[in-house]
Amino acid sequence: MSPPAAPFERRPFGRGPAVSPFCLGTMRATGSPSQMAAVLDAAIAAGINHVETAPAYGAAELYLGQALKTLAARDPGVHNQLVITSKVLPGLTLNDGQQQLRAILERLGLPQLHNLAVHGLNRPEHLHWALGGPGAELLAWALGEGLVGQVGFSSHGSNTLIEQALASGRFNFCSLHLHLLDPARLPIARAALASGIGVLAISPADKGGRLYAPSPELLADCAPFQPLELAYRFLLDQGISTLSLGAEHPSDLSFAAALSGVSPWLEPQHRAALLRLSAARQERLGSEACGQCRACLPCPSSVPIPELLRLRNLAIGHGMTAFTQERYNLIGRAGHWWEAVDASACQRCGDCLPRCPHQLPIPDLLADTHQRLAAAPRRRLWG
């Protein structure tokens, strides 16, 4: 393994060690220890020093620990430069959480984690657990014992919940859904960064729209650049600390390697492509484009109107049928990790209509969304 020719800059990440703009997510490299080792070697060669894992990722921690041991024997200097993040699920008792953290460290072969996150702080009861319940005791114990350097959280929850978590002063970093085609949480991320909180973008390639397998329309909209390259450049230009990259094979790190040493992230030609992307979406959607202002909420039937119309925006605006059908048909089947109510729950009560600043026929658009996207359900990668 050779070092990268043009190393990445290191970005602040809360109070912990600085991290590379890309973070190796280990949830996909779980076929064998050799697969994990090959992916880790490729990540280091690409200039990545941040590695993210979790007990929920199957054998990922065990295989990563084996790869780290091999790496330490071969090149302890590189091994000592890696920043490791793992997670614990909310709801654990103090004793169970302590046992789980010790097991994480044992699997990884480490005396301390740089970063420990609450994995899926998605509901109010999760936040209560982390701030005033057994979770608060667990995090305080982990810090006090020197088993973790800093604590944070990942969230698939509401903007309000995320803002409450960030305002608590308890967390030094967060992992959020921040995507080129779904930038709604960028103001929250910017505020977190301004206050010294590290921000990791969750899965900008996959959950950001399966950008590694773009539709013909999306390819044309982003030309002459690949959609995934534009997505990475866009988020890094926003100042996001680090972007998660869930590599299954070393070749999945090619974009990260190609962007090593890049500065600035957005040149004039990239900004022009982003404008064309936005214009193409608007042209296809016309007056039916949802601006994601969220003024339509709350819905008496608990329909997540903005999220559903965002999927419609992508399906029509960029031809992203495969991705939007996949996401739509996870509704109600992924617990607290995704929405629980789909568009068929709309009762056409009309409460949302006078609130919409663009006077969208929301019940009609929801019916159209359901007709377009409802299909056979698919299984999530991880629970």
pLDDT at residue 263 in the model: 82
Residue 4 has pLDDT above 50, yes or no: no
Q: What pLDDT is stored for residue 329 in this prediction? A: 94
Output phi, psi for 103, to 5 deg.
-65, -35
pTM more than 0.85:
yes
- Higher-pLDDT residue of 314 and 255 is 314
* Contact predicate 307/339, CB 8 Å: yes
Which whole number is the average pLDDT over 170-183?
A: 96
* Average pLDDT taken over every residue of the chain: 93
269 three-state secondary structure: helix
pLDDT at 146: 98
Q: What is the pLDDT of residue 337?
A: 76
What is the gyration radius of the CA atoms in the chain, in angstroms? 21
Confidence at residue 380, expressed as pLDDT on a 0 to 100 scale: 45
Instruction: Kindly report, residue by residue over 109-148, the tens digit of the pLDDT.
Output: 999 999 999 999 999 999 999 999 999 999 999 999 999 9
Q: Say what the pLDDT of residue 79 is.
A: 86
* Whether the Cβ atoms of residue 303 and residue 343 lie closer than 8 Å to each other: yes
> What is the structure's pLDDT at 1?
43
42's CB contacts (< 8 A; 6+ apart) are: 247, 250, 253, 257
Q: Is the pLDDT of residue 186 over 70?
A: yes
To the nearest whole percent, how much of the chain has pLDDT over 90? Answer: 88
Q: What is the pLDDT of residues 147-168, one digit of tens each?
A: 999 999 999 999 999 999 999 9
Nearest to 322 by CA among 251, 272, 378: 378
Length of the chain: 383
**Residue 377 above 80 pLDDT?**
no
pLDDT of residue 7: 65
Supply the pLDDT for residue 3.
Answer: 44
Percent of the chain with pLDDT over 70: 96
Listed in order, strand segments (DSSP E) in the chain are 11-13, 16-19, 22-25, 50-52, 83-88, 113-119, 148-154, 173-176, 198-201, 242-246
**Average pLDDT estimate for 286-304:** 95
Confidence of residue 2 (pLDDT cuts 50, 70, 90): very low
Give me the pLDDT at residue 340, please.
Answer: 87
Is the predicted pLDDT of residue 383 greater than 60, yes or no?
Answer: no
Average pLDDT over residues 225-248: 96
Note the pLDDT of residue 382. 42
Given this model, what pLDDT does residue 6 score? 56
Place of tokens 């350097």: 149
Range with lowest mean pLDDT among 13-17, 57-61, 226-230, 335-339: 335-339
Rounded Cα gap, residues 287 and 284, in angstroms: 9
pLDDT tens per residue across span 306-331:
999 999 999 999 999 999 999 999 99
Q: Can you give the pLDDT at residue 5? A: 41
